[in-house]
Structure 1
């Protein structure tokens, strides 16, 4: 953990405050406890989407800073108290003093006066007890300077947000809101640029004043991408953030892959964040998309929504389990160094031999006449490639009837696959119950990078949807035989 921070994939959350979506009311359900839950899951980049709260009648005319998906118009609109979220982070760090640094991504939509309140709360809750990594304003960082390592910032918080290059009283900075996708356009070669507009109108819309007390605590400076030549000359504390829709346009429209190469070069020394904009999300569809393509570009902060469990969260849990689920895992050498040689492909054959102590599904428990619950388990294995966003292969075992204690899977054929980039490719195991109606219900799962596979008979521990082995999952596992093939 002594490499610069840019050399690591970092477990990142988007809309951390979101618990679920209320389909009936067509509005999000927010919960401040999601911050603590994310931290204990291993997430090390949290999002605070901060707005001006509605002023209280008879109280302060200036509203409190609140966390919400959009600006609250009424007192009862869904929001989270920013002080509660900050105290959750403080509580976690005081209980886990050796935790690797937590990045607080502040998406700032506040007026100047409310920003002053926000800065005050951040300092009182985190800064006053030395939990914030403070930027050095005495000397501006040179392009060749590297970011500090996670090991050098253990037990502390890194603030990420808008920050002027030189912090002065009343400093003004260009507004770099992450969600503003409409400012990015592409020419015939797929190179992003800023839409042309009247200079005065542009300044009126885009300039926002940042209080110096907030800027002085902001270590990572979020800046909007315009030209790669300019981006590659920025100090390493500057961060680019791309909505997935913009990233897809950038990579699809460039025929010579120059943008992909520039992005990989940028992420070898700088941090890049990706997220799924709500403009791209249908409320009835998945909140997440496959993170593998973004990881393959070197993006460190591939932000996922942890409010709903899906196969993409399973991949993320597996990615970071390699390093003890501490929230950081070292990128392969060919993504850390622009001139490094790519990995060698690996081919494997897997046979699922048996299972042990498999719990019943959450939704429904079938019971025999004696009152003992039973399941009809089977296993699915999937391999997801790293260089392109697609499923490389899939394998399903037979169903074992009424035996969750020690089912034996007659998996003589096995599953043979080839991974072109073993460090990028993710192998997933999911255990399912097939009920009498033929409906498949998820029991548990596990995931790991293909580079972590070792030959021989190996135990694969199973995890619940919260990525824990608590309760009935304490001893749940699969026995798998792995053999390297040529």
Structure 2
């Protein structure tokens, strides 16, 4: 059940493509403007959390053999919908030359064929200014490419777009260091990370731009849209006026890609604005490239701010990955989970900081009884005798600040391989 935003250069990842959990949303979709009086609503793509894979390419991964794009795409295509029929979002880094991009576009069309969803594809053509993505239900069995896109008025076969800070360390600790570009080691290209004030220009070929279904942008789109919303907000005297239009700067389906640091700052400093933004725009957070150990941030910190896609290093087990797996197992591991109503409704107001009750959401009590544990393994590294273990169970609740809590059972003293706890907890 993880969704795989695969990089197009994935050396060394095919072996796990098949378990790939994907972007999956079920639940269907409802447009704000039609009132459906039916029992089942359609929900927009923005309304879901997505199961997300992240692969880090650090210098110490250079032992892998090169893999051609064609063979990587064929593996993706073979396993794309075995686990889930819901749409697969494929994340492209377009740092190769325009000629190579053109051949990439050709491979994408050849390998995925009719599965490839392009912006003008029928039957879900919503025009360039659509404010909502089709629902996952409408996109079953389709592959959507996420990448940089040329502006619609662009003439000619290629043009420049700014790389923005979302992909490269953003002027943080990596600025000014020479880095090789993942996937292009064999081209011998070297990149000097630019300071954020001068975004690097990427040459984009129109043929590759045209197969991109979801345009990715950096955090600038958040600030642009927030500025526009602030200007267009209707005065309190006319509550019936329509909500502010999507600013012209975001003409197509957009995925705003944020670094961990920036996303953390937004969830703490402008939590209401972030939730409002994610009602309209898919938002993705990826682990900081400074995490050389491939450790993971707490995904709940971003989910509670409305972020739909939190990329984690799937190869690093631990509490953070457990939270991620738990979140997606609740919907059958199909890769999509519908976000709470307070994050979807146009009118609702929600802050990730909420310490009290959320308006319109009746609080619930969770009662958990811990009965017993069985066949507990001895701690690693214990001697042949097997040292004594003193087992206890910790229960942690992750959510908005009002809900975060931790409780633990007493330590079981006897029968330590099969301890009996029989304790009840209430949150």
Shorter-chain TM-score category? 0.5 to 0.7
Q: 1:148 to 1:397 in 2, by over 3 A?
A: farther
Q: Is the 8 A contact 1:360 1:374 kept in 2?
A: no
Residue 323 (structure 1) aligned with residue 331 (structure 2): yes
Larger fraction in strand? 1
In the other structure, the counterpart of 1:88 is 75
**Aligned pairs, how many?**
343
Pick aligned residue for 2:363 from 345, 366, 390:
345
CA distance in 2, matches of 1:381, 1:17: 41
Shift of 1:169: 3.6
Q: 1:344 to 1:271 in 2, by over 3 A?
A: same
Residue 237 (structure 1) aligned with residue 253 (structure 2): yes
> Equivalent residue of 1:287, what SS?
coil
Q: Is the 8 A contact 1:12 1:301 kept in 2?
A: no
Residue 160 (structure 1) aligned with residue 167 (structure 2): no
> Equivalent residue of 1:210, what SS?
strand
Q: 1:296 to 1:94 in 2, by over 3 A?
A: closer
CA distance in 2, matches of 1:416, 1:331: 24
Q: Is the 8 A contact 1:134 1:216 kept in 2?
A: yes
CA distance in 2, matches of 1:172, 1:361: 61
Residue 415 (structure 1) aligned with residue 421 (structure 2): no
In the other structure, the counterpart of 1:225 is 219
Q: Is the 8 A contact 2:296 2:312 kept in 1?
A: yes
Shift of 1:239: 1.4
CA distance in 2, matches of 1:99, 1:111: 33
In the other structure, the counterpart of 1:182 is 170
CA distance in 1, matches of 2:296, 2:4: 11
Give the RMSD, CA atoms, in angstroms.
Answer: 4.1
CA distance in 1, matches of 2:80, 2:5: 20
> Equivalent residue of 1:415, what SS?
strand
Pick aligned residue for 1:384 from 378, 387, 397:
397
Q: For 1:20-419, what aligned pairs fall within 5 Å after superposition? A: 30-39=12-21, 44-46=51-53, 68-69=57-58, 79-93=66-80, 95=82, 99-126=85-112, 128=113, 130-136=114-120, 140-142=127-129, 145-166=131-152, 168-176=155-163, 178-182=166-170, 202=198, 206-226=200-220, 227=223, 228-230=226-228, 232-233=246-247, 234-235=250-251, 237-252=253-268, 254=269, 259-279=270-290, 281-283=291-293, 287-340=295-348, 341=359, 343-355=361-373, 360=377, 378=391, 380-388=393-401, 392-399=405-412, 407=418, 409-412=420-423, 414-417=424-427
CA distance in 2, matches of 1:375, 1:14: 44
Q: Is the 8 A contact 1:105 1:161 kept in 2?
A: yes
CA distance in 2, matches of 1:120, 1:48: 24
Runs of 5+ in structure 1 lacking a partner?
A: 1-9, 20-28, 50-67, 185-194, 418-486
Q: Which runs of 4+ in 1 moved over 6 A?
A: 14-19, 40-43, 361-368, 373-377
Q: Is the 8 A contact 2:3 2:22 kept in 1?
A: no
Shift of 1:84: 3.4
TM-score w.r.t. length of structure 2: 0.67
Q: Is the 8 A contact 2:282 2:307 kept in 1?
A: yes
CA distance in 1, matches of 2:118, 2:8: 25
In the other structure, the counterpart of 2:243 is none
Q: 1:282 to 1:208 in 2, by over 3 A?
A: closer
Q: Is the 8 A contact 1:35 1:46 kept in 2?
A: no
Runs of 5+ in structure 2 lacking a partner?
A: 25-49, 173-194, 230-245, 349-358
CA distance in 2, matches of 1:196, 1:408: 55
> Equivalent residue of 2:295, what SS?
coil
